[in-house]
Amino acid sequence: MAVTIKSKSEIAIMKEAGIILAKVHKELEKSVKAGMSTLEIDALGEKLIRGYGAIPSCKGYEGFPNALCISVNDEIVHGIPNKNKIVRDGDIVSLDFCVLYKGWQSDGARTLMIGEVSPEAKQLVEVTKQCFYEGIKYAKAGNHLYDISAAINDYADKYGYGVVRELVGHGIGKEMHEDPQIPNFRQRRRGLKLEPGMTLCIEPMITMGRPEIVVLDDDWTVLTEDGSLASHYENTILITDGEPEILTPVENL
């Protein structure tokens, strides 16, 4: 496992990339409405990313055709935008994408609640977000990687939710996916020791029902096997000498 430690100058660029990603997420949160197709949302997202002088790095990644992964209701991740897929009132919609800026990546996901969603769906989205914040309490130099995993798992367990096992968080830098892999479920070991300068993507993927998944014939879209709702929340973070720093601060804009 080769985990890269970023220099101050590299971190500065990653912060710029993270702010761009956060601004795009914020603008999409304001713009996405019932009646839009997921392809319309994707086109808007790509326009916004390019408008900031960045590149939508999901587009073309291992053959993925679009700038945004847009996953609706029982879709967990990697939903391919489609002109015939219309977002409706009561849906929950995950927007997950990466931006490449000055050679450095940033990655983040939010699950939007469209119109009036059910109390159960709202709780799932809120708990998934809080799983992230429970996890990063342990994202400190001297702690271990899987301390984060255990905290995410334990919080989801309180609500009886499923924690997807086949999909994990990851390191990030010049590449979208770098070492280490970061599970959202408890491990037998504590994993590598965290050091200042590590940049990580923490991304709980939580289901209302069972955690098992299926993949559609498009070889991308991942759904819950039991048809239950799923939620996804992700930030790029920096390990520092003190508290972790969120490099994709959507909520702070």
Binding-site positions for substrate read 78, 177
Binding-site positions read 78, 96, 107, 170, 177, 203, 234
Binding-site positions for a divalent metal cation read 96, 107, 170, 203, 234
- Which has the closest alpha carbon to 53: 22, 25, 16? 16
Beta bridge partners of 72: 93
Greatest C-alpha distance within the chain: 49
- Which has the closest alpha carbon to 241: 126, 140, 130, 146? 140
Whole-number Å distance between alpha carbons of 204 and 63: 24
Q: Where are the beta strands (DSSP E) in 48-198?
A: 55-56, 69-72, 75-77, 92-101, 104-113, 162-163, 169-171, 178-182
